[in-house]
Amino acid sequence: MMECNDKNVMAPGSVVGIIGGGQLGRMLALAAARLGFRVHIYCAAENSPAFEVAAKHWCAPFDNKQQLQDFANSCDIVTYEFENIPLETVRVISAITPVLPDINALNITQDRLHERAFLTTNSLPVAPFMKVDNKEDLAKAIGRLGNQTILKSRRFGYDGKGQIALSSATLSPPDVLAEIGNQPAILEQKINFDREISVLVLRSANELENYDICENLHLNQMLRRTRVPATIDPDIEQQAILMAQEITIAMDYVGLMAVEMFYCPDNEEQPLIINEIAPRVHNSGHWTQDGCIIDQFENHIRAICGWPLGSTKRHNDVVMTNLIGEDILNWQEYAGNTDSCLHIYGKKEPRQGRKMGHLTTLLPLTYSKPPSGSDENNVVQLKPSS
């Protein structure tokens, strides 16, 4: 069998464990298989999409210590597809097998307050914010930051869940808090941004890399489209990359990280504000599957396995469109779209708001930036599904 003297380098044939069995876990598993790894999945949900492409899976709750240990013992290295894993789950696994990105990255990113504190400590730009534990805190924060603000739960926020904009709310402070489940939260100043960009940055023990910056279009607080290249100035681009790299260095991070930023060209002093850090492969990086030599999934696996990073070079302009809920019923139309690649996640029911697949449309490589507002050119039009 293939072997490697360096215990931090996983030889082909090693077992890569993945916590979480959704579409990100599934695409990570497919990428790991390409490199000759065996994949084991741990997920609490039955019929998880990643189970179907893995050598072995555990379907058990995240607090089942016995099952976690059994899983950990079967793996040479473990990673995850989402950041809201109980830290105790990771501690149980880490006691047996290395987990990368490490628990520190999870601890910071799964709590908005920790994340904001970490960024501020490292002199990285975030929107002005205040901690909100109760209605008194909230009243004080509104007094300080005004009502052009957003209340965000500290934990388990994604796709706009656990968020409420105070500017549009007609509720009293206690009611606003109740609206997000009376959880610990932060109040954050609303940023008037021109566009949201993602920086996909990669770090391994010896290398630091990034993909071209892309920009995101949200609809109903969910990512709808990502396009690359982003419409931003080259010097801003450079600034964004440096900021994302700084985060990975400060965390001593290993793997792919997505950093979402707001681009505010009117604010000359601080045109970039960091919105969120995801310590994992990310929806805004799906375009790399069909637009780059080596995609975010394989490069994440390479990084955590101690391999050299693969080329992040881009060979096409790309527009990635999420297929959400009943969009997927039009799969035949998407499948027939020339110069597009269709990805379907194998989920059984197309529930509303559920990510069912995505479509990447490949356009000629421009190198130069597209004119502002041309987002919809040459891209498949989404039909409302009735």
User: Footprint of a copy of itself on this chain (CB under 8 A)?
Assistant: 1-2, 4, 9, 11-13, 26, 29-30, 33-39, 51-55, 290, 293-294, 302, 307-308, 310-311, 313, 315-316, 328-329, 331-332, 335-336, 338-346, 348-350, 357, 362
Q: What is the largest CA-CA distance in the chain?
A: 66
Least gap, CB of 209 to a copy of itself (angstroms): 11
Residue type present at position 351: R
Give 168's strand partners. Answer: none
Least gap, CB of 55 to a copy of itself (angstroms): 4
Least gap, CB of 294 to a copy of itself (angstroms): 6
Nearer to a copy of itself, 79 or 289 (CB): 289
Nearer to a copy of itself, 38 or 112 (CB): 38
Residue 271 contacts residue 236 (beta carbons within 8 Å):
yes
> Among 28, 99, 112, 32, which Cα is nearest to 68's?
99
Nearer to a copy of itself, 277 or 301 (CB): 301
Q: What separation in angstroms does the CA of 344 have from each of 166, 191, 234, 350?
A: 37, 34, 34, 11
Nearer to a copy of itself, 134 or 316 (CB): 316
Nearer to a copy of itself, 45 or 335 (CB): 335
Residue 132 has what DSSP assignment? E
Least gap, CB of 372 to a copy of itself (angstroms): 27
Q: Are strands 15-19 and 38-43 parallel, antiparallel or unpaired?
A: parallel
Least gap, CB of 303 to a copy of itself (angstroms): 12
Distance CA 143, CA 138 (A): 8
Classify burial at 2, counting beta carbons within 10 Å of its beta carbon; exposed 0-12, middle 13-18, buried 19 or more: exposed
Least gap, CB of 310 to a copy of itself (angstroms): 7
Nearer to a copy of itself, 155 or 354 (CB): 354
